[in-house]
Structure 1
């Protein structure tokens, strides 16, 4: 059975394009650590999902989950990174891309990804979309939750901790939907991790992708963040450690049971208000 799910995996790539290779200050292990490569396995549901999109390019080159403006240096963690989430420079001194190279990178990687999202949704009768990520167990130095322990699962729809709109803002899926998805995650993960929390919009309420494409197409979007401690033991994962892919396969099965269990609830068809 194929479900009407759209799966976006914007941070799974680790490729550094040749035009910036000699400029990069990060080594290969660091690029993998600051990217999200496990997501390409963790959320690979194959043909069971209506449509899937990912990218080979590392988010450290072009972050597809950031708005196209502002450009650096106004946002050091924006679409073109100045430094990492813990303060390491991404580019060697004096070799940061100029505006012409930034434009080239955006035209090659950024805009095509977002165009393909629209095209895939139009072609595949999608009814709900998930932007899929993993997160470090603790907030890093330059993040708003620096040093704080994170939940096992974080779901985002641009709302409050119940998934409801804040101060007249726009949420990217109905509040009851994200609450029900959180219940499914708790049901699946609580027996194995009784102390683990499933949070809504904390520490991440959703990035550019769910907000922009909800506006563009109107179908519900939810951002999913899975804690890396579920497959990388320890509170500060070693960038050189190879992920436990057998465990990731089990996690993928759990996540798929959660998504399908959520969608198969009675009356689930069209988004409500």
Structure 2
């Protein structure tokens, strides 16, 4: 019988669905939705029955961002749960078409809260020992982001700590520092990388990892994979051009990293 690892895999930003309630309201087209959502993460982290639990979003993050807290709403936070601007400053909605409160409530009840409730249920029912919130990132920070214009690492691991995985002053990490350090080491070994594998830089973990760690006490690690590793033409790649790996090849290498990491840190019976 094939071994099933006690992981929960969460993929909140791979969906591309736009609900019919928003027909004619978006400024962004289908290609834009795909670009800002990145459905390839569903393949990249699609480990199937090799893990204890798996959840992925159907809804596009440009409609509902599941990795944001439920407040604040627009216009106070243009990159929050309901987005009004993209990371590079483009308008998401046509003029005067930003969802009103009744529609926002309907969208949250249909898509946002069920995703988070399902995570809790999976943790309770499936024997989850460690959860990964899985993402991709653009090769450079965009104009609306804190790292605008800066080159990003090829892998970023987040546990809400500092750049060594340690908790900051009055802070708390979503997994032990030794774990995220060990995982970074496994990525470096597998891909032959050094500083291109970063911890908590530029992303230290979003709402999903932090909220569900607090709720359930299960360790969480946010995994960010640079799109340059599997999308052609993004930026220089350390192995080969135009992209380093096919999505399928990269998935299997990531899986090898995760399992080798767990085999090292797991102290259970």
Give the TM-score taking structure 2 as reference length. Answer: 0.94
- What residue in structure 2 maps to residue 179 of structure 1? 181
Q: Deviations over 1:188-215 (max 9, x none)?
A: 011xxx5661000000000000000000
Q: How far did residue 232 of structure 1 move?
A: 1.1
Q: Deviations over 1:161-187 (max 9, x none)?
A: 010101120110000000000000001
Q: How does 1:164-175 map to 2 (within 5 A)?
A: 164-175=166-177
1:110 to 109, 112, 134: 112
- What residue in structure 1 maps to residue 95 of structure 2? 93
- The 8 Å contact of residues 9 and 39 in structure 1, kept in 2 or not, is answered as yes
Q: How does 1:136-175 map to 2 (within 5 A)?
A: 136-175=138-177
What secondary structure, in the 3-state scheme, does the structure 2 residue paired with 1:69 have? Answer: coil
1:48 to 35, 47, 50: 50
- What residue in structure 2 maps to residue 120 of structure 1? 122
Q: How far did residue 68 of structure 1 move?
A: 0.3
Q: Deviations over 1:200-239 (max 9, x none)?
A: 00000000000000000001000000000001122369xx
- What residue in structure 1 maps to residue 239 of structure 2? none
- What residue in structure 2 maps to residue 221 of structure 1? 220
- What residue in structure 2 maps to residue 131 of structure 1? 133
Q: Deviations over 1:18-55 (max 9, x none)?
A: 00121010000000000021110000001000000011
Change (3 A) 1:221 1:169: same
Change (3 A) 1:146 1:129: same
Change (3 A) 1:165 1:266: closer
- The 8 Å contact of residues 138 and 235 in structure 1, kept in 2 or not, is answered as no
What secondary structure, in the 3-state scheme, does the structure 2 residue paired with 1:104 have? Answer: helix
Partners of 1:81 and 1:196 in 2: how far apart? 32
4+ residue segments displaced more than 6 Å: none
Q: How far did residue 268 of structure 1 move?
A: 3.3
**Is 1:81 equivalent to 2:83 in the alignment?**
yes
- What residue in structure 2 maps to residue 60 of structure 1? 62
Matched residues, number: 262
Partners of 1:170 and 1:7 in 2: how far apart? 22
- The 8 Å contact of residues 164 and 181 in structure 2, kept in 1 or not, is answered as yes
Give the TM-score taking structure 1 as reference length. Answer: 0.93
- The 8 Å contact of residues 43 and 247 in structure 2, kept in 1 or not, is answered as yes
Partners of 2:144 and 2:101 in 1: how far apart? 25
Partners of 2:25 and 2:33 in 1: how far apart? 13
- The 8 Å contact of residues 165 and 181 in structure 2, kept in 1 or not, is answered as yes
- The 8 Å contact of residues 179 and 265 in structure 2, kept in 1 or not, is answered as no
Partners of 2:108 and 2:42 in 1: how far apart? 22
Q: How does 1:182-193 map to 2 (within 5 A)?
A: 182-190=184-192
